[in-house]
Amino acid sequence: MDVRISPSRVGGTARAPPSKSYTHRAILAAGYADGATVRNPLFSADTAATARAVESYGGRTERVGDDLEVTGFDGDPGTPADVIDCANSGTTMRLTTATAGLVEGLAVLTGDSSLRSRPQGPLLDALEGLGVRAESTRGNGQAPLVVGGGTEGGTTAIRGDVSSQYITGLLMAGAVTDRGIEIELTTELKSAPYVDITLEVLEAFGVEASVVGGDDTAVRSAGAEGFAVDGAQQYDPADEEYRVPGDFSSMSYLLAAGALAADRELVVAGARPSAQGDAAIVSILESMGANIEWDREAGRIAVGRAPLSGIEVGVADTPDLLPTIAVLGAAAEGRTRITDCAHVRLKETDRVAAMASELRKMGVDIEEQEDELRVHGGDLEGATVAGHDDHRIIMALSVAALLAEGETTIEGAEDVDVSFPSFFEVFSDLGVELERR
């Protein structure tokens, strides 16, 4: 699907979708449990892949209205009867590859061409350190993966600068091993708030895990030297349910649209505080001069259009915000310097290169380095741009199109289904002039 967007003003109230990060973890945690109701999850292509994986290990899932009823495998995943297809979901693969380490037989995990190009080697090495058979069929650290044989737990080491999802998968699986798992980080941890999300979900399901070392900041996992989780724990959420909060990664596009193109106040509902690092979008917009106010108790963020100025911002802990920040920088006065972004190249696509390429098509002066993106603000021009099979690239470019002179066509825009299936409906309701074809 291609989407053509005309320059538009926006306003009104929108509700952000539920958090994809929390939904993945909650579905898998309910799978590790005897069962649970996941309330208000994100129903999307990625989270459906995690639900299928839970079913492959012996659980069952059923959508009931806006909720997902999960019958779990109670800490004892069975050997899958077929290959687990993770589609385009890196989170599904990394979290449930660790689950595969618990099965007596072998599990085979694969995905689409994009997923089969993403690095899984550090996780495979860490599982091998726990006595698990963990192999890449092509010997290159990428899917398809063959994993299994079971583990009692133990101590292992892993890089922290490729994907925090490795740590999440190990912690979730470690809680149901006999001995538990101790994880030593061999590098600095990137995306630390995402591990905090994991710790928060584990706690809600009655599982205790701890941070070794750390900076003792609001982000518990920041500066961590490692993590530990005791074994023989039971996943057991209060009242046998878990409610998923709103998604700040998805909110970032709505808030950016309001800051750049609102002709009246734009309000985003469902914005209650949580461990999500991407809530930093509020402070980033404030730093750039946006007219923004967050009522944390009510969970509502109001934003209005205002002149923005370029800033310097690091995305070591908030990689999913890079596309949004790049678009804000393209419309701001002066230069926006986005640093600590080398790991953002390892997502669904190389998001650093993709944003540089597509914003250049829209007339933006942008400089790309391995770990940095420099965006010089100015006028944007309508153009035909590529979505790169990446939901975050598509949504960020949709925001840029609001300010461009002339129409902008985004090719392959259907991939918003990964995290925000109703994105274009919401955009249209806010006043965006768009056509899907």
Residues 131-187 pLDDT 10s: 999 999 999 999 999 999 999 999 999 999 999 999 999 999 999 999 999 999 999
Amino acid at 374: R
16 in Cβ contact with 427 (< 8 Å):
no
6 labelled binding-site residue: no
Instruction: Say if residue 422 is in the same domain as residue 291.
Output: yes
Instruction: Say if residue 263 is in the same domain as residue 292.
Output: yes
Q: How many domains does the structure of the chain reveal?
A: 2
Instruction: Say if residue 222 is in the same domain as residue 257.
Output: no
Residues forming a β-bridge with 82: none
End-to-end CA distance of the chain: 6
Question: Tens digit of pLDDT for each residue in 316-361?
Answer: 999 999 999 999 999 999 999 999 999 999 888 999 999 999 999 9
Cα 116 to Cα 113, 137, 349, 365, distances in angstroms: 5, 11, 12, 33
Dihedral sign computed on CA atoms, order 131, 190, 259, 376:
negative
Instruction: Say if residue 11 is in the same domain as residue 98.
Output: no
Per the annotation, the verdict on 415 as an active-site residue is: no
Task: State the pLDDT confidence band at 437, using cuts at 50, 70 and 90.
Answer: confident
Instruction: Say if residue 203 is in the same domain as residue 349.
Output: no
21 labelled binding-site residue: yes
| Averaged confidence pLDDT in the chain | 96
Question: Tens digit of pLDDT for each residue in 13-25?
Answer: 999 899 999 999 9
Looking at residue 346, what is its pLDDT?
Answer: 87
Q: What percentage of the chain has pLDDT greater than the value 70?
A: 100
136 labelled binding-site residue: no
Instruction: Say if residue 410 is in the same domain as residue 332.
Output: yes
Looking at residue 218, what is its pLDDT?
Answer: 83
Asked, for residue 241, whether it belongs to a domain, the answer is no
Instruction: Say if residue 24 is in the same domain as residue 108.
Output: yes
15 labelled binding-site residue: no
Instruction: Say if residue 13 is in the same domain as residue 24.
Output: no
Asked, for residue 81, whether it belongs to a domain, the answer is yes
191 labelled binding-site residue: yes
- CATH code at 253? 3.65.10.10
Residues 6+ apart with CB under 8 A from 373: 322, 326, 337, 338, 341, 352, 355, 356, 366, 367
Looking at residue 216, what is its pLDDT?
Answer: 74
Please give the residue range of the domain that contains residue 210. 20-233
Q: Tell me the whole-structure pTM to 2 decimals.
A: 0.87
Instruction: Say if residue 288 is in the same domain as residue 170.
Output: no
* Residue 215 pLDDT exceeds 90: no
Residues forming a β-bridge with 241: 37
Question: Of 205, 233, 261, which closes a domain?
Answer: 233
221 labelled binding-site residue: no
For residue 38, give the H/E element and its range.
strand 35-39
Asked, for residue 106, whether it belongs to a domain, the answer is yes
**Candidate list 278, 320, 415, 417, residue with the active-site label:** 320
Angle formed at CA 364 by CA 359 and CA 367, multiple of 5 degrees: 85
Asked, for residue 239, whether it belongs to a domain, the answer is no
Question: Tens digit of pLDDT for each residue in 379-421?
Answer: 999 999 999 999 999 999 999 999 999 999 999 999 999 889 9
Q: 426: number of CA atoms within 13 Å, CB side? A: 24
* Residue 263 pLDDT exceeds 80: yes
Instruction: Say if residue 32 is in the same domain as residue 112.
Output: yes
* Residue 204 pLDDT exceeds 80: yes
